[in-house]
Amino acid sequence: MSDVLTSIDGALGRVRLNRPKAIHALNTAMCGTMLAALDGWATDPAIAAIMVDHAEGRGFCAGGDIRMLADSGAKDGAEARAFFHVEYRLNHRLFTYAKPTVAFMDGITMGGGVGISLPCDFRVATENTKFAMPETGIGLFPDVGGGWYLSRLPGRTGQYLALTGHRLDGAECLALGLATHYLRSEHLEEAKRQIAAAPQDIAAVLNDLATPAPDAPILAQRAAIDRLFAAEALEDIFAALAADEGAWAAEQLATLRSKSPQSMKVSLRLLHEGRQMATFEDEMRQEYALGAHIVQRHDFLEGVRAVIVDKDHAPRWQSAAPEDVSDHVIDQIFAPLPDAEAWTPA
């Protein structure tokens, strides 16, 4: 059985992730299959809209094939770059797609799953949604357009999410604009049935089946997030959290101390520059260069070892504290690739 199921249901093009044992984590072949389907449907007048969801299993998409990326990064990085290249082409294709797109973020939606849901016009969260960009915990950064999306969230919530990897529930996704609709999971199949019957009426279908979302806990921390994560320098964020006497700030500081200082600095700069990017294509070109550099650096290989391979959750980062990561190192990571090696859209 294929890891991605593509089909046509009336005038609806359907993409279903089908790798349940890996919580539908994306690999290179899956991204290529989805991209090819989207390319074909883009010029097919019989297809009116596109739906992205998952088949069996407990989550929409847990991310990408991290172990492959680390194995490749420990060698020449070629396989990792090939994955990023096609994945980012898929992200960009969805972002610029001319036909309406809808994604169902039911369950775990992280990393690569964020990259194929946030570009969609309609994004459905449920009571099962667990949305996060946890990359700083493995020495990576919030890619797949994270620099674009997170930098455009209210206040400093994007910086908070990028640095801490905090998990949002479905109500929080709706409150922050990451989701456009909140549905109870028992209504999803009816929503999909109605959308297949009338793909031109996605908004009306979702509006009709949506239910009021519960309170979003993150809103109670908005003032604290905007104040404590206000700085552009990671050292200043650490200092602000350390100076605050509240329990919430202490929890966030403890979380940040477990993350890669290098990755957190990369993430802060990514969001700072992402906010100013003229196009999503520019964003993906920069993120591809970042990914090409980072997969071959110590912190990513060590983060994957600690979290994915050995599971001791005790990574030994190259730099133990923010002040130990020099601007020169960050500049090296952000260096653009030569034109012949740079990312290009499909």
* Residues that are catalytic: 64, 112, 135, 143
**Contact (Cβ atoms closer than 8 angstroms) between residue 61 and residue 109:** yes
Beta-bridge mates of residue 6: 15
CA 96, CA 92: separation in Å to the nearest integer?
6
Please report where in the chains the tokens 């919030």 appear, as a residue: 142
Cβ-contact 131, 149 below 8 angstroms? no
Distance CA 60, CA 129 (A): 9
| CB of 50 closer than 8 Å to CB of 41 | yes
Q: What are phi and psi of 50, to 5 degrees?
A: -125, 140
Q: Positive or negative, the Cα torsion across 178, 182, 185, 188?
A: negative
Q: Note whether 29 and 3 are within 8 A (CB).
A: yes
Cα distances from 245 to residues 41, 96, 166, 219, 228, in angstroms, run: 55, 45, 21, 20, 12
Distance (Å, whole) CA 325 – CA 343 = 27
